[in-house]
Amino acid sequence: MKTIGLIGGTGWASSAEYYRLINQKINKRLGGQEFAECILYSLNFGEFQRLKKEHGDNTALSYLSKIALNLTNSGADALALCANTIHRYAEKLKQQINVPLIHIGTATALEIKKQGLSKVGLLGTKITMESDFYKEKLKEHGITTLVPELQDRDYINSVIFEELFYLKLEQASRNRFLEIINKLKKNGAEGIILGCTEIPLLIKQEHTNIPLFDTLEIHCDAIVDFVLT
């Protein structure tokens, strides 16, 4: 079994889900008392945000690079970033490490293609919804991306950082998210990417009949596939 290095803490609740799911999935495949060989580096998200705000993206990337180096020096055979938004640094980070980085966008695109869909809605932080780093990964696989209107993007972003980061799961927020999902469906979305690893804590497939792509679970499956091959 290969060792996976997890860069988490962005936020801690979904990082805990990564640890739980990876171990459960490996045990389901191997049985017995077999569990993951992994190293979790949980960064201080507040410090990361301060560095980015005060010194820019290059400093934030350097911060991640040091963590990645610590993990590879500790024996990690591959790395995974435990959040969608932080994948904005993934391509540059890949150039600075000598092990594979298992990309959440690539794993999600492959799952969407497997289900035969070509147009999906994307929910996530404002950075994820408004930047190209995620949409480009989907476009590489022939997938068109729809995002909510500005007011809805603002709302989603505020719920992620003010509620879900602290495991506050409010029914009113769930209802509004479902309204946004229905708007995207009316605009032609065949499925919805839950493109922030905290969103699946609030929105689950049982809440809607449109296919949902839980990026946390999809990413964990890709990680398990890698470490077991």
Average pLDDT, the chain: 94
Strand partners, 101: 79
Rounded CA gap, 5 and 70, in Å?
9
On whether both 26 and 74 belong to a single domain, the answer is yes
Domain count within the chain: 2
pLDDT tens-digit readout, 95-147: 999 999 999 999 999 999 999 999 999 999 999 999 988 899 999 999 999 99
Strand partners, 191: 120
On whether both 198 and 123 belong to a single domain, the answer is yes
At 13, list the tokens.
Answer: 């609740």
Q: How confident is residue 10, by pLDDT bands cut at 50, 70 and 90?
A: confident
On whether both 73 and 110 belong to a single domain, the answer is no
> What strands, in cross-sheet order, belong to the sheet with 4-8?
38-42, 4-8, 78-81
On whether both 123 and 178 belong to a single domain, the answer is yes
The rounded percent of the chain whose pLDDT value lies above 90 is 85
On whether both 10 and 94 belong to a single domain, the answer is yes
On whether both 178 and 90 belong to a single domain, the answer is no
Q: Which residues contact 8 (CB under 8 A, 6 or more apart)?
A: 14, 15, 18, 19, 40, 41, 42, 43, 82, 83
On whether both 72 and 125 belong to a single domain, the answer is no
The CA distances from residue 204 to 39, 88, 131, 215, 227, in Å, are 28, 25, 25, 12, 27
Rounded CA gap, 89 and 114, in Å?
26
Instruction: Identify the CA nearest to 51 among candidates 91, 89, 16.
Output: 89
The CA distances from residue 3 to 78, 109, 163, 176, in Å, are 7, 24, 33, 40
Rounded CA gap, 128 and 122, in Å?
8
Query: Where do we find the tokens 């009113």?
Result: 172
Average pLDDT over residues 162-167: 90
Q: Which range marks the domain in which residue 15 is found?
A: 4-102+218-227
CATH code, domain with 42? 3.40.50.1860
On whether both 145 and 98 belong to a single domain, the answer is no
On whether both 42 and 115 belong to a single domain, the answer is no
Rounded CA gap, 109 and 103, in Å?
10
On whether both 125 and 169 belong to a single domain, the answer is yes
On whether both 141 and 191 belong to a single domain, the answer is yes
Q: How confident is residue 11, by pLDDT bands cut at 50, 70 and 90?
A: confident
pLDDT at residue 65, as a whole number: 94
pLDDT tens-digit readout, 83-101: 998 999 999 999 999 999 9
On whether both 55 and 114 belong to a single domain, the answer is no
Q: How confident is residue 198, by pLDDT bands cut at 50, 70 and 90?
A: confident
